[in-house]
Amino acid sequence: MDFKEPQEDIGFVKPILFIFGSSGVGKSTLGKLLVDDLNFMHVNFDPEVVKGKSFEDGPKNEGLQVEWNILYQQCNTRPLAAKIRERITSSGLNGACVTLSSLYDPEFIRLRFLKLKPENIFYIVLFGSAEECYKGFSERDDGLSVQQKNKESWTTTNSRWHDVSKFDDLKENIIHVFDGYDRRPHQQMIADVRKVLGK
């Protein structure tokens, strides 16, 4: 697959895809699919999956806390991208996908991706209704207790992702995950990701 060459001579060649969305929508599932289908590295920043103590523990568990802090605090993507690309180059991979906690909201995308437009760094938003995503969350085998899977608490954390009209400006990068309550076939999802990476 062909990707746009970077405009700056900063060694940023291989694509990095950030995956956003509600808890239960299938971010980590898609990340695993991209490992198999696109020969990508999966960098998991979602503490619900890696069982960190807070949403900030995901980067720490991946050994990328310093670089992530620079992106988060200074809106500078370069150190994180360079570190990830060192890893994918040494492993002979085609790129990387980074899955994030649902606590990183659409405004995070606007400030660090739409505003900066970093070269060969892409993002997608996986979308599903609240009912569809909570079903996925509640059925997930992640070791969380029934109390931790309380719907009221989940809704408070994830409601920002279920009104698609609130991120109209991101619509070209929204991928709909469900067809009714059924998840769309994996190959359809991969095809949608390829379209984003091919822009």
For residues 11-26, one letter each, b for 16 or more C-beta atoms within 10 angstroms of the residue's C-beta and e for the rest, the string is: ebebbbbbbbbbbbbb
pLDDT at 40: 97
pLDDT at 178: 95
CB 183 within 8 A of CB 177: yes
Fold of 16-197: Rossmann fold (3.40.50)
Q: For the chain, what are the domain ranges?
A: 16-197
Q: Going residue by residue through the chain (199 aa), what tens digit of pLDDT does each one get?
A: 433 333 343 344 799 999 999 999 999 999 999 999 999 999 998 765 444 455 567 788 889 999 999 998 898 999 999 999 999 999 999 999 999 988 888 888 888 888 777 788 999 999 999 999 999 888 876 666 666 678 888 898 899 899 888 888 888 899 999 998 899 999 999 999 999 998 5
pTM over 0.95: no
119, with CB counted inside 10 A (0-12, 13-18, 19+), is middle
Helix (H, G, I), strand (E, B) or coil at 83: helix
Q: What is the largest CA-CA distance in the chain?
A: 51
Which helix (H) or strand (E) covers residue 95, if one does?
strand 95-100
pLDDT at 148: 65
**Rounded distance between C-alpha atoms, residue 67 and residue 69, angstroms:** 5
Q: Is the dihedral of CA 11, 15, 18, 24 positive or negative?
A: negative
Residues 6 or more apart whose Cβ sits within 8 Å of residue 47:
53, 54, 55, 56, 57, 58, 61, 101
List the beta bridge partners of residue 98. Answer: 18, 43
